[in-house]
């Protein structure tokens, strides 16, 4: 009498397609997933505990290393949260605000570049990987000019930004932004329009609006399900209310929609940077902030629209120079919790694509 | 500035519907209410489903250790009205237990596991309350103030 | 080209002059021919190793290996030395005998296919009467070696890879055979040299272009090249059926893949692209060189397709093979048959 048996497969911490040290134990029936169990924590560095023994300024480099694909945006979220605690949100100079917007949108371009490239790599169209990383490299060179480091620039400060940027930087930025839409059309031609990619990702793991809200989806993954929500437009932080940009929304919430969202959002980011380059005024880049940052007793929760979702900081201050409690809400940590549900019943090759479309970064998941 | 729910009306409505469970919590954010631990699931369900408030998006679930108690902080948001609310639940230090809200939002699954893992707050009714970030056999709760870093 | 035939005649004459019989002369010549085929394969494996990396680099806007030697030629020697120097690891629970012979048998089947490939006029190791049939039969034994490699590794990823390979290779045997039947019908013979002679005036790609495309796709699936390289996976199964192989055993798998690629290109050239016939009457270049040029063109298309397209999913692959390629190739046979009948009726 022939029987079939379920196979327990370990997509281990060392795997070419898990986007970092992430382990998933799959129970397979043939090649279809019956159950998936996440195991994370391989990159847990205890940032929340470390924050309690660092001053507010000293913690800024640590936030770079959360989602290491978008360092400047993480710093922005933290710095804005502390400024809210200090009550100096209105005093940030105009030029600093524009520079912050440029940095955040540049990081969005870099982060989405990784998502597009890794998706192409996971579907074995590795040429697409090189195309998107070619652009990402130019963005990273600009970020090196901003902060000295490709991935961990450490540029934002409480009250503004650390230093001003020179004319050459803006010239190169303008040139890159002028050329970028043509590159995005190239990705569309090579990847989005590809028959095999569409067949493999359309209809795979569709997420409904209710499921997305229940599982705490934010960012492009939420907009791919049809929920029109973007913090930059609905609750503008900084000076985002001065920019005109569309918020792309897709209908089905499947893997293909999540992938397309990234390319469409890159187009909007290019628009925002071009508008910022036109309007940026001269002036100081740092407000008058005391040397020792001692916020009054209180707490704050501030979040920004990061490339991957809503990155939030919940800070509790007891009046001293070090935060009493720092809680980092990372979007991919919560969205990864939805992966077992999304992967159930799909093929093992689809599970790899679903993971790529959620766009996790283990630095942010594990903190 | 954030749009905030009208806390007096909200607290009145909650106390009327579910018995004496909620009160305004005075802190610097001016958007918090304090809820009794045993009624938290009903309160959350009311907050989510009531059409006046429709706080259908859970933004954050934190756990904070104060000298006198543990506090679980829920940050709620409404995607329809774009107003916010912070819900705080205080539990005693000796035996911190809070009912789990996994039945309302699946996102709370991983966030409550993390709060249990790092702070040691037990969420009753959670389907799978195991450590998530640290190793399964880790002893101690790192985010507590009595856990000293070794460097 | 004549030089190799003169060489063969010379050797035959020398052996008979030494007093040995005719048949032993033939056997020795066949052995020398087989040795020549091995050298041909190894040479092309070396060329392909480097070509793949440099061609893929050109597609991906980068340079590829260019440090060791001019054009990176030294890279191949470096790779070979590194591979030979690696430790031979056999996993603990693996079936040792099957594990050891799997890679060797795969390379052996790839080698056996070269017996019927016509490199030039009169340059074929064994001009069998059932030439193309022999090639197809040998090609299907490769499935067994991959299954052996997958099963004997005691690794779940290898098991899944081996299973996928069997499903895929068996499914795409059928359209491959059907696509070649059209050419056989036009020639009226299974002999390789007859097929090449029949293409003196017009290459068979012209009447059989549908069969050519079906054969190209089916051949890509047979040799496990992208976009049909599910058996080795790489993004899901890390390396599929050869995940546990290291050193020279892994190198044999790689060599077998490249040898298969060249063999399949050679068959495509022989059956559809005119074999060693010169196009446009440019006969001052010997047939052997034309054969090589055409093979290199086919190899380039294989590399091109590999580095452009993403990978299909296994159920899409099976649907495509069974529900699209087989009906198309069957329709091709029917149309070819009707065409031959009508042609015979017209020409009397």
Contacts with C61 from chain A: Cβ below 8 Å = 130-131, 134
Give the burial string for C192-230 (b: 16+ CB within 10 Å, else e): bbebbebbeeebbbebbebbbbbbbbbbbbbbbbbbbbb
- Structure tokens, C40: 């041909």
Whether residue B142 lies inside any domain: the answer is: no
Q: Which residue in the block uniquely carries the two structure tokens 């499914």?
A: C171
Instruction: Report pTM.
Output: 0.86
CA-nearest residue to A333 within chain B is B110
Q: Do C156 and A17 touch (CB under 8 A)?
A: no
Look up tokens 């050679």; give the residue: C266
The winner for highest mean pLDDT among B46-55, C9-18, C55-64, C255-264 is: C255-264
Mean pLDDT of A230-258: 87
Q: Which of A124, A187, A191, A256 best tests the C interface by mutation, with the highest count of C CBs <10 A?
A: A124
Q: How many CB atoms lie within 10 A of CB C31?
A: 11
pLDDT at res. A242: 87
Chain C residue numbers with beta carbons less than 8 Å from the beta carbon of A349 are 230, 235-236, 311, 313-314
What is the average pLDDT score of chain C? Answer: 84
Q: Are B and C close enough to touch, i.e. 3+ CB pairs under 8 angstroms?
A: no
- Which chain C positions have a beta carbon within 8 Å of A197's beta carbon? 310
pLDDT in the model for residue C214: 92
Residue B84: which CATH number?
Answer: 3.30.460.80
Quick one: which H or E segment has residue A86? Answer: helix A71-86
Q: What is the dihedral of CA C181, C184, C189, C191, to 10 degrees?
A: -90
Q: What is the mean pLDDT of residues A148-161?
A: 87
Confidence at residue C237, expressed as pLDDT on a 0 to 100 scale: 66
Section A143-158 average pLDDT: 88
pLDDT higher than 80, residue B150: no
CA distance A123 to chain C (A): 5
Closest alpha carbon to A59 in A276, A315, A318:
A315
Reported as a single tens digit per residue, the pLDDT across A274-328 is: 999 988 888 888 888 888 888 888 888 998 998 898 999 999 988 888 888 999 9
Residue with tokens 């309690």: A52
Count: domains in chain B: 1
In chain C, where the domains are located: 96-347
Using a CB–CB cut-off of 8 Å, the residues of A that contact B are 40-41, 44, 46, 48-50, 53, 213-216, 227, 229, 234-235, 296-301, 303, 310, 312, 314, 316, 324-325, 327, 329, 333-334, 336-338, 341, 366-367
Lowest-pLDDT choice from B20-34, C171-185, C328-342: B20-34
- Radius of gyration for the alpha carbons in chain C, expressed in angstroms and rounded: 21
> Cis omega before residue C227 (within 30°)?
yes
Q: Which of A272, A72, A274 is nearest to A161 (CA)?
A: A72
Mean pLDDT (chain A, rounded): 88
CA dihedral C314, C316, C319, C324 (to 10 degrees): -130
User: So what's the pLDDT on residue C338?
Assistant: 92
pLDDT in tens, A24-77: 898 988 788 898 998 888 888 888 888 888 898 889 998 888 888 888 999 999
Chain A nearest-CA residue for B31? A300
Token pair belonging to A55:
């001053």
Task: Give the H/E segment covering residue A107.
Answer: helix A94-122
Q: Based on the number of CB atoms within 10 Å of its own CB, is B84 exposed (0-12), middle (13-18) or buried (19 or more)?
A: buried
Chain Cα centroid distance, residue C58: 24
Q: Distance (Å, rounded) from C-alpha C324 to C-alpha C318?
A: 9
Fold classified for A7-366: Cytochrome-c3 Hydrogenase; chain B (1.10.645)
Give which of B114, B140, B142 to mutate to test A binding, by max A Cβ within 10 Å: B114
Neighbouring C-beta atoms of residue A64, cutoff 10 Å: 24
What local confidence, expressed as pLDDT, does residue A8 receive?
Answer: 86
Which tokens in the block code for residue C246? 């290291």
Cα C186 from Cα C336, distance rounded (Å): 8
Q: Report whether pLDDT(C1) > 60.
A: no
What are the φ and ψ backbone dihedral angles of C36, each rounded to 5 degrees?
-60, -40
Number of H helices, E strands in chain A: 15, 8
Helices (H), chain C: 2-17, 22-59, 74-84, 96-112, 131-140, 142-151, 156-187, 192-197, 209-222, 248-272, 287-308, 314-319, 326-347
User: Can you give the pLDDT at residue B1?
Assistant: 59
**CA of A54 vs chain C CAs: smallest distance (Å):** 41
3-class DSSP assignment, residue C197 = helix
Using 50, 70 and 90 to split pLDDT, how confident is the model at C234? low
Report how far residue A238's alpha carbon sits from residue A231's, in angstroms, rounded to the nearest whole number: 11
DSSP string, C82-142: HHHTS-----TTS-HHHHHHHHHHHHHHHHHGGGG---BTTB-S---TTHHHHHHHHHHTH
Partners of A9 on chain C (C-beta within 8 Å) are 156-157, 160
Burial pattern A185-213, b for ≥16 Cβ within 10 A else e, equals eebeebbbebebbebbbeebbbbeeebbb
Cβ–Cβ < 8 Å for A106, A142: yes
- pLDDT, mean of residues C319-336: 91
Residues of B in contact with A216 (CB under 8 A): 57-58, 105-107
Chains with at least 3 CB pairs less than 8 angstroms from chain A: B, C
Model pLDDT for residues A168-222, shown as the tens digit of each residue: 899 999 999 999 999 889 888 888 888 888 888 888 888 888 888 888 888 898 9
Q: What number of helices (H) and strands (E) belong to chain B?
A: 3, 8
Q: Which of C230, C308, C314 faces A127 most closely, judged by CB atoms?
A: C308
b/e A218-234 (16+ beta carbons within 10 angstroms → b): bbbbbbbbbbebbbbbe
pLDDT higher than threshold 70 for residue C13: yes
Q: What is the mean pLDDT of chain B?
A: 85
Write the burial class of residue C156 (CB in 10 Å: 0-12 exposed, 13-18 middle, 19+ buried): middle
| Least CB–CB distance from B133: residue in A310, A327, A366 | A366
pLDDT at B151 (0 to 100) = 59
C-alpha triplet A176, A182, A187: angle, nearest 5°: 110
Report yes or no: B127 and B99 within 8 Å, Cβ to Cβ: no
Q: Are B132 and A40 a contacting pair at CB < 8 A?
A: yes
Q: What is the ipTM of this complex?
A: 0.89
Q: How many CA atoms lie within 13 A of C157 on its CB side?
A: 19
List the one residue out of A86, A79, A44 whose CA is nearest residue A60. A79
CB contact under 8 Å between C236 and A17, yes or no, is yes
What range defines the domain where residue B81 resides? 3-93
Contacts of A131 (CB under 8 A, 6+ apart): A117, A120, A183, A186, A187, A190, C60, C61
How far, rounded to the nearest angstrom, does the alpha carbon of residue C15 sit from its chain's CA centroid?
Answer: 33
Q: Please say if the pLDDT value at position C335 is more than 70.
A: yes
Contact A352 C227 (CB under 8 A): no
Rounded CA separation A227/A247 (Å)? 11
Grade residue C2 by pLDDT with cuts at 50, 70 and 90.
low
The length of chain B in residues reads 151
pLDDT > 90 in chain B, percent: 1
Chains with at least 3 CB pairs less than 8 angstroms from chain B: A
Residue of chain A nearest C304, judged by CA positions: A127
Q: What is the pLDDT of residues C124-143, one digit of tens each?
A: 887 888 888 888 888 888 88
Closest Cα of chain A to C200: distance in Å? 38
- The rounded percent of chain C whose pLDDT value lies above 70 is 96
As a whole number of angstroms, the distance between CA A126 and CA A280 comes to: 39
């Amino acid at each position: 009498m022939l029987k079939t048996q379920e196979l327990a497969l370990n997509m281990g911490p060392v795997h070419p397609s898990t986007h970092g040290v992430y382990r998933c134990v799959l129970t397979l029936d043939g090649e279809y997933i019956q159950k998936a169990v996440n195991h994370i924590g391989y990159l847990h560095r205890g940032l929340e505990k470390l924050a309690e023994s660092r001053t507010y300024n000293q913690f800024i480099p640590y936030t770079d290393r959360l989602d290491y694909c978008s360092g400047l945006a993480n710093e922005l979220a933290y710095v804005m949260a502390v400024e809210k605690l200090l009550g100096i949100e209105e005093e940030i100079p105009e030029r600093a605000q524009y520079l912050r917007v440029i940095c955040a949108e540049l990081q969005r371009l870099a982060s989405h570049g990784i998502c597009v490239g890794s998706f192409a790599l996971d579907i074995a169209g590795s040429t697409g990987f090189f195309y998107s990383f070619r652009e990402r490299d130019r963005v990273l060179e600009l970020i090196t000019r901003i902060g000295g480091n490709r991935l961990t620039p450490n540029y934002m400060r409480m009250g503004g930004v650390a230093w001003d940027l020179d004319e050459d930087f803006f010239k190169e930025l303008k040139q890159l932004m002028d050329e970028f839409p043509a590159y995005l059309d190239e990705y569309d031609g090579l990847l989005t329009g590809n028959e095999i990619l569409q067949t493999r990702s359309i209809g795979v793991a569709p997420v409904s609006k209710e499921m997305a809200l229940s599982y705490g989806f934010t960012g492009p993954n939420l907009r791919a399900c049809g929920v029109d929500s973007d913090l930059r437009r609905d609750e503008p932080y900084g000076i985002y209310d001065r920019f005109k940009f569309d918020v792309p929304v897709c209908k089905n919430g499947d893997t293909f929609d999540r992938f397309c969202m990234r390319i469409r959002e890159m187009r909007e980011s290019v628009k925002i940077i071009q508008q910022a380059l036109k309007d940026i005024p001269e002036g100081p880049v740092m407000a008058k902030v005391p040397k020792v940052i001692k916020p009054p007793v209180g707490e704050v929760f501030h979040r920004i629209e990061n490339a991957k979702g809503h990155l939030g900081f919940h800070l509790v201050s007891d009046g001293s120079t070090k935060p009493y409690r720092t809680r980092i809400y990372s979007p991919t940590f919560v969205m990864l919790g939805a992966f077992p549900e999304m992967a159930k019943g799909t093929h093992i090759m689809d599970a790899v694509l679903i993971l790529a479309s959620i766009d996790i970064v283990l630095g942010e998941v594990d903190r | 500035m954030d749009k905030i729910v009208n806390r007096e009306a909200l607290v009145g409505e909650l106390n009327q519907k579910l018995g004496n469970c909620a009160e305004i919590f005075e802190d610097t954010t001016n958007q918090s209410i304090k809820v009794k631990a045993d009624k938290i699931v009903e309160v959350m369900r009311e907050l989510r489903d009531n059409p006046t408030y429709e706080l259908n998006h859970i933004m954050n679930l934190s756990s904070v250790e104060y000298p006198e108690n543990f506090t679980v902080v829920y940050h709620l948001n409404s995607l329809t009205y774009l107003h916010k609310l912070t819900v705080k639940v205080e539990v005693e230090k000796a035996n911190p237990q809070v009912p789990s809200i996994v039945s309302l939002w699946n996102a709370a699954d991983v966030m409550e596991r993390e709060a249990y893992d790092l702070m040691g707050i037990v969420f009753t009714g959670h389907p799978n309350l195991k450590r998530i970030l640290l190793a399964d056999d880790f002893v101690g709760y790192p985010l507590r103030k009595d856990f000293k870093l070794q460097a | 080209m004549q030089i190799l035939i003169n060489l063969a005649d010379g050797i035959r004459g020398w052996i008979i002059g030494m007093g040995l019989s005719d048949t032993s002369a033939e056997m020795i010549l066949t052995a020398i021919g087989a040795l020549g085929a091995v050298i041909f394969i190894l040479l092309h494996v070396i060329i392909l190793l480097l070509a793949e990396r440099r061609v893929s680099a050109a597609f991906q806007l980068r340079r590829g290996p260019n440090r060791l030697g001019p054009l990176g030629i030294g890279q191949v020697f470096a790779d070979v030395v590194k591979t030979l120097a690696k430790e031979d690891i056999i996993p603990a629970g693996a079936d040792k005998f099957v594990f050891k012979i799997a890679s060797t048998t795969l390379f052996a089947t790839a080698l056996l296919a070269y017996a019927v490939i016509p490199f030039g006029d009169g340059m074929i190791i064994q001009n069998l009467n059932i030439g193309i049939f022999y090639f197809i039969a040998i090609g299907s034994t490769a499935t067994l070696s991959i299954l052996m490699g997958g099963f004997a590794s005691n690794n779940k990823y290898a098991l899944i890879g081996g299973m996928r390979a069997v499903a895929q290779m068996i499914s795409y045997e059928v359209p491959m055979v059907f696509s070649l039947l059209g050419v056989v019908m036009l020639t009226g013979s299974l002999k390789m040299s007859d097929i090449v002679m029949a293409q003196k005036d017009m290459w068979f790609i012209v009447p059989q272009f549908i069969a050519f495309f079906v054969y190209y796709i089916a051949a890509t699936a047979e040799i496990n090249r992208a976009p049909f390289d599910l058996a080795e996976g790489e993004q899901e199964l890390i390396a599929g059926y050869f995940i546990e192989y290291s050193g020279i055993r892994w190198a044999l798998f790689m060599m077998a893949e490249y040898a298969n690629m060249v063999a399949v290109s050679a068959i495509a050239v022989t059956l559809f692209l005119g074999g060693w016939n010169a196009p446009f009457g440019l006969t001052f270049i010997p047939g052997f060189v034309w054969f090589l040029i055409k093979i290199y063109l086919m190899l380039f298309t294989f590399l091109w397709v590999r580095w452009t397209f993403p990978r299909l999913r296994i159920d899409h692959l099976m649907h495509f093979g069974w529900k699209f390629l087989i009906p198309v190739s069957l329709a091709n046979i029917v149309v070819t048959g009707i065409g031959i009948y009508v042609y015979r009726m017209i020409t009397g």
